Structure 1
Amino acid sequence: MDPATRVHEAFLRRVKDGDLPDVTGRAADAGLGADDLLALFRAQVTSRQLDRVARVLQSKGQGFYTIGSSGHEGNAAIAHALRVSDPAFLHYRDAAFQIARAGQVPGQTPLWDMLLSFTASSDDPTSGGRHKVLGSKALNIPPQTSTIASHLPKAVGAAFAIGMSRRMPPEVAEWPADSVVMCSFGDASLNHSTAQGALNTAGWTTYQGTPLPLLFVCEDNGIGISVKTPKGWVADSLKSRAGVAYFTCDGLDIVDTYRTAKDAADWVRKRRRPAVLHMTCVRLYGHAGADVEASYRPKDEIAGQEANDPLIHSAARLIAEGVADAQGVLDIYTGIWAETEALAEMAVSRPKLGDAAQVAASLIPPKRDVPRLNGPDPALRAEMFGAADMRALDDPQPMNKLLNLGLADLMLETPSLVMAGEDVGKKGGVYGITKGLQARFGPGRVIDTLLDEQSILGLSIGMAQQGFIPMPEIQFLAYLHNAEDQLRGEAATLPFFSNGQYANPMVLRIAGLGYQRGFGGHFHNDNSLAVLRDIPGIVIGCPSTGADAVAMHRAAVRMAREDGRVVVMVEPIALYPMRDLLAEGDGGWLTHYPDQGIEIAPGDLGIHGDGADLAIVTYGNGHYLSRQAQARLADQGVNARVIDLRWLAPLDPAAIMAAVEGCARVLIVDECRRSGSQSEALMALMLEHGRPDARRVTAEDCFIATGPAYAATLPSADGILAAAKEICA
């Protein structure tokens, strides 16, 4: 007999026979009445029947998800203990939580909605048929997919943003400033570095005296797929968290769970400090539909789990307190199954997504309803900058100076813009790009974070969902790799899986790429952007001059604020202080601060020269080196134009092909490695558009060395010159 049938028949038999566990305490003492108990039981049963019908649908090829919530239904009581306005970032076994919360909001149809999700119908109100997700805009449950703790950092960020909302209201707040953020996860996920980082960040933030109204919920069923959690590990691990209060409850007992969850939520709401609720529970049916639990778990252990079915415990509670008799309990159970079966038959006939355009329709979030900004107030600007910086606006400057001034302008113009990152505040960043901004705008808008890139990005995602425009900084490109899932798995996917109902706009600044003389080796000189380029929906910019950097950051902030976009700005470290181009002292790479209102948006290429002999397509440091090669080529009779892409994703094929039109040859110069670089896409683009003559100069497939060989594996002006002469011969 399959486990779902076995558990189902055991429930019917035991309720009928009165074979029920003892009940301790009274619901009324915890503040629960008869109607509350019935509502919670109905939510638990609905969740269970959804798990059962999911397996039936899958066997018929009509359903596509069988990771169920059976055994975790006690989380319905946690929903009852919180406010509907409290945002909830849910573990994938929390269907009962969502159903219980839906019962608190008139007009909700959670059973129907979840069946649409199970059957991948485009009518699914959460994801539009893209994935089975728990989530609901009306219920303040941002959708998560099969989360392995990756949602915890953004829950920390959301709690931070809610705490901040009291002293600095965002432009468009998503949740009330007295909300508590709840996020749930499993005992196995506790061991993931993302969970450990989020718990550590929560405690670290509390030690700074910063409000963080956050309730972690660890749902402990004792096993992660087939690997058991050591006895006592979860409790001992969670109890030892500095700055995070610990509560524990028995998830089989809805009264104990409600009482403890209410105490924990009240504690967090009153103190504005984080806590963790450790809910013990069981896992029924194995991990998922295809999981044969008997292959790795002793039969007596499985039987013991099934004997502790939380629905049996809740039925015992209803009967013991006189809320319902045995037949009444069975009527609720069988009645919800009949409703589930009937609705499932209807759900399978609802429309599905049919083509790539429909699937991709929610990659880009809808435009946000915010007024267009008109630049910083001139008087405030003059007062903030002072005489020295006002003079700097009139003189040509290197990128680091112009970018510092440009970020100050953006902060002044956009009150909801908040910077965050390691060393961005008092120090002003490793390269001084944010120097003086914390003194001008305060530590609440220029936030010095702990050293954890996952937490920096999670903070930003959570802040964005509360209505702020975060501008996080990752100190070096190589530091992004241990946190990249926060972009790929969380930030970029949220519009996609919420059908455009949620977005987390941000402008991520990363100091990166190579050519730093004698500093840092591969860990501080990283010439790989592949980790970013293959993430659908994000925008990637790479300025090479100071004026471009300012104008592109303006466009980036506008895209985040007005269009809800995730924008990544990769700033070439070696070009921050660059002043000269062709000879020492020529000031050829200095530029003037662009006038207010000037932006450089995606598709706006930089074209330097009008030569028809050769088009050099490049970006970043490659632009700088190509301009050097261009001058030397002119001395040798080759008239070239240099095309600076500026924006690396999404590429604009029409603009690129228009820029190279009329040129006899095309040379692509890419400072990233030959494998996985932009040059591969550009070469394919040229071939597809009838330019098979294109050639490329790239970095070697090698890491970068420290010392005199810092540029040995990278493109050089000499190498570009040689390649250009060869193809133009």
Structure 2
Amino acid sequence: MAGLFDQPLVDLKAAFAPLPSLQSLGLSKQEVFDIVDSQLTSRLLDVHSRELQAAGESFYTIGSAGHENNAAIAAAFRPNDMAFLHYRSGAFFIQRQRQKPGSTPVHDMLLSFAASADDPISSGRHKVLGSFDHYVPPQTSTIGSHLPKAMGMAYSIGLAKRINHRGQVPNDSVVLCSFGDASANHSTTQGAINAACWAAYQSVPVPAVLVCEDNGIGISTATPHRWIESSFGHRPGMDYISCDGRNLLDVYRASKEAERVARRLRKPVFLHMRCVRLYGHAGSDAEMTYLSKEQIAHNEAQDPLRFSLALLAHLGIADQASMRQHTEQLYQRILAVGRKAIAQPKLADAAEVMAHIAPERPEQPIPPAATGETRARLFGHEKHNLGKPQTLNKLLNWALLDLMHQYPHLVMAGEDIGKKGGVYGVTNRLVNSFGPNRVINTLLDEQSILGLGIGMAHNGFLPMPEIQFLAYVHNAEDQIRGEAATLQFFSSGQYSNPMVIRIAGLAYQKGFGGHFHNDNSFTVFRDLPGVVLVCPSNGASGAKLLREAVRLAEEQKRVVVFLEPIALYNTKDLHTPGDNGWMRDYPEPTERIAFGEVSTEGQGTDLAIVSYGNGFYLSCQAQKQLAEQGIQSRVVDLNWLHPLPMESLLQAIAPCEKVLIVDECRKTGSLSEELITRLQEAGDSTQKVQRLTADDSFIPLAKAAYHVLPSVESIVEKAKQL
């Protein structure tokens, strides 16, 4: 930092075109000084972070050096414009806190650097820029993964106004989202920006300002000259504004213009701030291994702090000598706060670390279901079917009718769920009852669909995004893994993104081959702390479980994946054609299957067959054949696949000496691996437990699929062997 004051002041006239007047920008001299002070604070925190790391007291030193003029961006927006920041936006975060009296950005950030349990946002779980009070949801090492939810949040503002929903932010708010030039190439970034443009092109409000902090390099890979401008300068539906990241006044000018367009015209704006990266990518990065001395010297000459100090002198706000003194005093204060921060307590044990993965929240009354004339009107198109047993897809549809009436802030979103009613009719006619603002047909992009859900949840909605087929979620699984599942953990429970993600999937679909339409790969969801995975097997369990899934999302703020077995959507018969043995009556709207509760068919004690989804259906068929051969069994439907309902399951199988797990998914990495281990750890040691699974194969077309999947015959044979 001393080098800043040992060099002559930058010649602003030579560096820039004529500077605008403060009056024309609506800035006072004090406001300019405050922005520069935020820049200096950010730089000094970067310096001290490296010093603390050298002493073993700081653990993540990626910093904001060279990007400090994003403080001017923060100054141009309201303090309640939600901001999704990437890791080089430290000066923005400091300036944002400045906008609320009584904030302590230095203290808060140093607690985060030191991984202190007193860190007000993550309680020491990660170095993040985040604050509930300042409308900054925490982000970790984002590579564009935060853009879909930022676009979802921006979309939700107009949606809230259209359906008279009271959101978390005012209806004229703007959403900011910052990222780097290297991240601009990521498919997640490209998809999110495309989604924003796709909506805006159709005159749908998306008031978002996308801040690309372009330093020309991604770790060691250079960004091609003018690549960002060429890529994003002429996108339909989106305005493009650029600025010089060395020049505080130019950044502020561009930011106010971006703010005007986004707030008044409700359009997305791409704000391109050209800047430099100083100090390398992170503390461990030695940039001299890939940059020449001349390149490093050139970057240092473009240090935005040099230009900001010259600006203060030019405007008569502060000279070089007074700023040297001010900077030294600021550094001494940071050192003093740092000494206190590293002495604060750390997370003490696993319980403290995990306290906010899925924090217990108070019970809430469940909204009443429709009754009387309202119910008659809601189900008017189903008069001829009411009171008769129905299939899984029909009873899921009825449950959705009830739920969307009960929860006016429940919004569905997905491909083809509107007038078409979804590929399998599960959302049929919902748009007729609740309109296109609550049953949203989306573009074909799973990352954007899930990001829309996460963003809507930030604004107080209860989202129910749909992924059309299970295999499609793998294009976007990090939106669940890296964004939705982690938010409560990294915000100490202050932020949450409750939602129910409906996914059609699993195997046994006649006439379909894998892996896109006949897929049984859901292991990814079972690897996510706090995420709930539920799978119905019939219409009654589907309706009851869906209601409980919505309760978990609304009341407990959980992320719930609701996996619907496609092959059972329209299944009517169980044992013989025309017996209608798999159709069910619609449960009363108050009926639910509680979280962690299994369901049991039969009371036999010779054998317990444990399964889910299609496996439960096949096991019920096998149960009859086994009874005819003198083997009395009970079939247990797990319902909840993550976390496993062990307490309820152990009670259900306790009377049985033998247990057969029927798992329709592959032998390797399947649910049965965990289940058999958990039963051995927690169950009766005298019980004999075996499993029957699918083979380690993708699903082939037509009848060939049944060569690699469990069948009724194989269940019966395995049961007899056991």
**What residue is the counterpart of 2:225 in the other structure?**
231
- Determine if the alignment matches structure 1 residue 252 to structure 2 residue 246: yes
SS at match of 1:77: helix
Aligned to 2:617: 624
* Counterpart check, 1:284 vs 2:278: yes
Matched to 1:196, the amino acid is Q
SS of corresponding position for 2:58 = coil
Q: Letter of the 1:120 partner, please give it.
A: A
Question: What one-letter code is carried by the residue in structure 2 that aligns with 1:568?
Answer: V
Q: Is the counterpart of residue 133 in structure 1 residue 128 in structure 2?
A: yes
Q: CA separation in 2, counterparts of 1:237 and 1:684?
A: 52
Amino acid at match of 1:264: A
Correspondence for 1:528 among 521, 533, 539: 521
Within the candidate set 442, 455, 459, 1:466 is matched to 459
CA distance in 2, matches of 1:677, 1:465: 33
Change (3 A) 1:259 1:241: same
Question: Map of 1:640-659 to 2, 5 A cutoff?
Answer: 640-659=633-652
Structure-1 residue corresponding to 2:438 = 445
Change in 2 beyond 3 A, CA 1:542/1:76 = same
Corresponding letter in the other structure for 1:62: E
Deviations 1:160-212 (A, max 9, x none): 001111122335x2111110000010000000000000110001001222111
CA-CA distance at 1:493 after TM superposition: 0.4
Q: Which residue does the alignment assign to 2:144?
A: 149
Deviation of the 1:664 alpha carbon = 1.3
Residue 264, structure 1, aligned to residue 258, structure 2? yes
Q: Does the CA contact (< 8 Å) of 1:488 and 1:535 recur in 2?
A: yes
Q: Is the 2:411–2:461 Cα contact (8 Å) retained in structure 1?
A: yes
Instruction: Tell me if 1:100 matches 2:124.
Output: no
CA offsets, 1:286-305, max 9 Å, x none? Answer: 00000000001111001100
Q: Distance in 1 between matches of 2:290 and 2:518?
A: 47
Give the whole-Å Cα distance in 1 for the aligned partners of 2:201 and 2:96: 33
Gaps in structure 1 of 5+ consecutive residues = 1-7
2:536 to 538, 543, 565: 543
**Normalising by structure 2, what TM-score?**
0.98
SS at structure 1 position matched to 2:46: helix
Q: For residues 675 and 535 of structure 1, what CA distance do their matches in structure 2 show? A: 18
Q: Distance in 2 between matches of 1:439 and 1:710?
A: 38
Give the Cα separation in 2 of the matches to 1:64 and 1:521: 44
TM alignment of 1:25-424, pairs within 5 A: 25=19, 26-170=21-165, 173-365=167-359, 367=361, 372-386=366-380, 389-424=382-417
Distance of 2:545 and 2:681 partners within structure 1: 29
- Name the aligned partner's letter for residue 659 of structure 2: V
Shift of 1:708: 2.1
- Aligned equivalent of 1:602, options 595, 610, 618: 595
Structure 1, residues 200-231: CA drift from partner, whole Å, max 9, x if none? 00010012221111110100000000000000
Matched, 1:673 2:666: yes
AA paired with 2:147? L
Query: What CA distance in whole angstroms lies between the structure 1 residues aligned with 2:230 and 2:272?
Result: 11
Partner Cα distance (1:366, 1:229) in 2: 46
Per-residue CA deviations over 1:487-525 (Å, capped at 9, x if unaligned) read 000001011101100000101000000000012432101
- Cα distance between partner residues in 1 of 2:359 and 2:163: 25
Distance 1:708 1:94 in 2: 56
Identity percentage of aligned residues: 53
1:30 and 1:369 mapped to 2: Cα distance? Answer: 50
Partner of 1:636: 629
The 3-state SS of whatever aligns with 1:507 is strand
Code of the residue aligned with 1:611 in structure 2: it is G
SS in 1 for 2:138: strand
Contact 1:381 1:412 in 2 (8 A): no
**Residue aligned with 1:319, SS:** helix
Contact 2:138/2:491 (8 A) holds in 1: yes
Tell me the amino acid that sits aligned with residue 200 of structure 1: N
Instruction: Please tell me whether residue 497 in structure 1 is matched to residue 490 in structure 2.
Output: yes
Q: Distance in 2 between matches of 1:370 and 1:446?
A: 25
Q: Is the 8 A contact 2:82 2:175 kept in 1?
A: yes
Q: TM-score, normalised by structure 1?
A: 0.97
What is the CA distance between 1:446 and its match in structure 2? 0.3
Q: Is residue 695 of structure 1 aligned with residue 690 of structure 2? A: yes
The Cα RMSD (Å) is: 1.3
Shift of 1:653: 1.7
Residues 365 and 565, structure 1, Cα contact 8 Å, conserved in 2 = no
Give the Cα separation in 1 of the matches to 2:326 and 2:610. Answer: 68
Q: For structure 1, which segment, 161-170 or 618-627, has the greater mean C-alpha deviation from structure 2 after superposition?
A: 161-170
Per the alignment, in what secondary structure is the counterpart of residue 432 of structure 1? coil
For structure 2, list consecutive stretches of 5 or more residues without a partner in the other structure: none
Q: Report if the CA contact (8 A) 1:20-1:312 is conserved.
A: no
Is the 1:135–1:144 Cα contact (8 Å) retained in structure 2? yes
Q: Do the aligned partners of 2:467 and 2:473 also contact (CA within 8 Å) in 1? A: yes
Q: Distance in 1 between matches of 2:501 and 2:586?
A: 22
Q: In the alignment, is the contact (CA less than 8 A) between 1:518 and 1:710 conserved in 2?
A: no
Secondary structure in structure 2 of the residue aligned to 1:392:
coil
Tell me the residue number matched to 2:719: 724
Q: Report the counterpart of residue 553 of structure 1 in structure 2.
A: 546
Distance across 2 between alignment mates of 1:522 and 1:65: 40
C-alpha contact (below 8 Å) 2:418/2:441 kept by paired residues: yes
Counterpart Cα distance in 2 of 1:194 and 1:550: 34
SS class of match (1:524): coil
Q: Is the 8 A contact 1:461 1:506 kept in 2?
A: yes
Whether the 8 Å contact between 1:250 and 1:257 is mirrored in structure 2 is: yes
Give yes or no for contact 2:414–2:466 (8 Å, CA) kept in 1.
yes
Compute the displacement of 1:400 (Å).
1.1
For 1:568 and 1:527, how far apart are their aligned partners in 2?
14
> Residue type matched to 1:345 in 2?
R
Q: SS of the counterpart of 1:472?
A: strand
Separation of aligned partners in 1, 2:117 and 2:90: 20
Contact 1:219–1:278 (Cα < 8 Å) also in 2? yes
1: distance between equivalents of 2:228 and 2:9? 34
Deviation at 1:658, TM superposition (A): 1.2
- Count of residue correspondences: 716
Where 2:688 maps in the other structure, the secondary structure is coil
SS across alignment from 1:626: helix
Contact 2:154–2:174, Cα closer than 8 Å, also in 1: yes
Letter in 1 for 2:303: D
Deviations 1:140-171 (A, max 9, x none): 11111110000000001000001111122335
Letter in 2 for 1:278: H
When residues 146 and 369 of structure 1 are mapped into structure 2, their CA distance, relative to the original with a 3 A threshold, is: farther
**Superposition deviation, residue 440 in structure 1:** 1.4
**Partner Cα separation in structure 2 for residue 357 and residue 41 of structure 1:** 42
1:686 is aligned to 679
